[in-house]
Amino acid sequence: MFRPSTRHNIPSSSSNPALEVKLNKRNSGINTSNNGGGPSSRYPYRLNFYERPPTLDITLEEFETFAIARLRVLSQIEALSHRSLPFTQLQQSITNYSKQHLLLSSNTARNVNLDEERRKDEISHWVLRLSFCRSPDLRARFIRSELALFKNRFETDDINERSNFLKSLEFDWQIVDESEKSRYEKELRSCMWGNKDDAFKNESWFKVLWYTVPDLVGSRRVFIRAGMAYVPQSLQISLVLQAFASRLEKALELTAKNLPRLDEDDRLGPVIDHLASSFLSGVASSDYQSPDGDSSGALVTAEMVDDVARKHFPPCMRNLYDRLKKDHHLKHFGRLQLGLFLKGIGLPLDEAVVFWRRMFGATMSDDKFNKEYKYNIRHSYGQEGKRTNYPPKSCQQILTQNQPGTQDSHGCPFRHFSPDNLINFLSSTYPSIDKSSNEMRDILDSVKSTHYHVACTRVFEITHGIKKGDGIGENNEPVTHPNKWVDRSRELEKEVIDRIKKNEISDEMMIDA
């Protein structure tokens, strides 16, 4: 387990070398000579059961950035798994997202640094173990996501490399010999798809304890005799996944017992807590970056806000804006959440001052507005105080920070509204979502399972005529930031306008002809 020292190193525990991981602030000492492809000397296989912790130096920056990269992938996997995507679409989305954030190439890949890729993969896994070992619920969610990632890698791995990896694990599977295969031919054939002689002749079988493959037993895809399940080679992945999950579960329980040793380290504790809260909120997003050179990121004036709100605001910001219109006032955190959001969609400082003064209306004098509110508006734009240019709040921040009280309006409707209030709010704000519709039930089911970002994404799909599961961007991404909702909504509107203009020009050309 991690243990700090005066040299900012964290040496391994002598009592438990299986938990050894070293960190320091120096550059990593790993040999990265493998830059031109080919098998890695340190990591011979792309697949990994993560049974031995990395006994190498890890910088504090790598500790966090590697873990965040993996967290993005696992959060995406969990979001995708709750959106009823077809299997092929699900696997393709996982593959594409993994390539973007946690690339892991096979030994046959060229011009890649296999050592560095696999080192990042290994370190990120072990760091996240520290974050997700602390409760049964976190462990279960972590195992499910890691299992889906491993399955995706297993099925996309090079056949020969995968075979060599499995041999290295030395599973205690019993191979069914030809005489036993002939003795139970009728029963074994009944477990196979089709009944072709060549398929049965070429198939090999393993014997394992029946309770190690519950998924195959439940679907009646194996023959069971004397407590042993006969598993065909074609279903080998079920054996591998069960072994991966059971070993990871035991390892997480062991890590949880040793986790208190980290309490004394004020460098790693906040990072680990942040990773866990990010996973619980379903996102691991960085600060929002507004798009450049695109009409979706165009300037917004105070006059335009009402129209943009009606067309493009996500539920959290629509709720704040409607309350502001109704009450002509928002409490501090509500003003901060909405103000930074408006800044992100393109409302400049001078227009922001005009907007807020207008929204407060006659309930406030100009003198009071200038004394009590104008400074805070300028401060959020980096023109006062420390002159920090604050970014808009992400979904993660809205879900986990500054929890709203009974009189507050900020926060996330999916998390902070009661079910009845949420139903009434969605049905009145978005007429396309009926109270008794299947879509509303989908949303409420996601909320009940605390997948608030999935519920928000479903609202976006319904209100924008997008097929269920497509999300708001590439790789079926869910909503992770209110401003990304707006950007995508405005992009879709622009596509519709461009299509209409194109059709009008085409019609005019036909008339002229």
The average pLDDT across 184-202 equals 77
Residue 52 has pLDDT above 60, yes or no: yes
From the annotation, which residues make up the binding site for [4Fe-4S] cluster? 316, 395, 412, 456
Measured between alpha carbons, how far is 124 from 67 in angstroms, rounded to an integer? 4
Would you say how long the chain is, in residues? Answer: 513
Which residue type is seen at 167?
A: K
pLDDT of residue 111: 87
Point out which residues pair with 207 in neighbouring strands.
Answer: 174, 230
pLDDT of residue 9: 39
Q: Give the helix/strand (H/E) hosting 24.
A: none
CA 137 to chain centre: 17
Give the full edge-to-edge strand order of the sheet including 228-232.
174-175, 205-209, 228-232, 223-225
Least reliable range by pLDDT among 69-73, 404-408, 438-442, 474-478: 474-478
Per-residue pLDDT tens for 277-286?
Answer: 777 666 554 4
Q: Which two three-digit tokens encode residue 373?
A: 């509110």
Q: Which candidate, 139, 129, 418, 349, places its Cα nearest to that of 258?
A: 129
pLDDT of residue 144: 93
- Selection from 24-38, 81-95, 101-115, 343-357 with the highest mean pLDDT: 343-357
pLDDT of residue 472: 87
User: 249 falls in which pLDDT band (50, 70, 90)?
Assistant: very high
Q: Which of 183 and 32 is assigned the larger pLDDT? A: 183
Judge contact between 460 and 479, C-beta under 8 A.
yes
Judge contact between 148 and 77, C-beta under 8 A.
yes
User: 88 falls in which pLDDT band (50, 70, 90)?
Assistant: confident
pLDDT of residue 292: 44
Give residue limits of the domains in the chain: 7-168+242-285, 174-238
Per-residue pLDDT tens for 324-374?
Answer: 999 999 999 999 999 999 999 999 999 999 999 999 988 889 999 999 999
From the annotation, which residues make up the binding site? 316, 395, 412, 456
Q: Which residues have a Cβ under 8 Å from the Cβ of 195 and sit 6 or more positions away?
A: 189
Q: Tell me the three state secondary structure of residue 231.
A: strand
Helical axes 482-512 vs 305-312, angle rounded to 10°: 90
Q: Tell me the three state secondary structure of residue 28.
A: coil
Least reliable range by pLDDT among 26-30, 118-122, 235-239, 295-299: 26-30
Residue 434 has pLDDT above 60, yes or no: yes
pLDDT of residue 281: 63
Q: If one looks up domain 7-168+242-285 in CATH, what number appears? A: 1.20.930.80
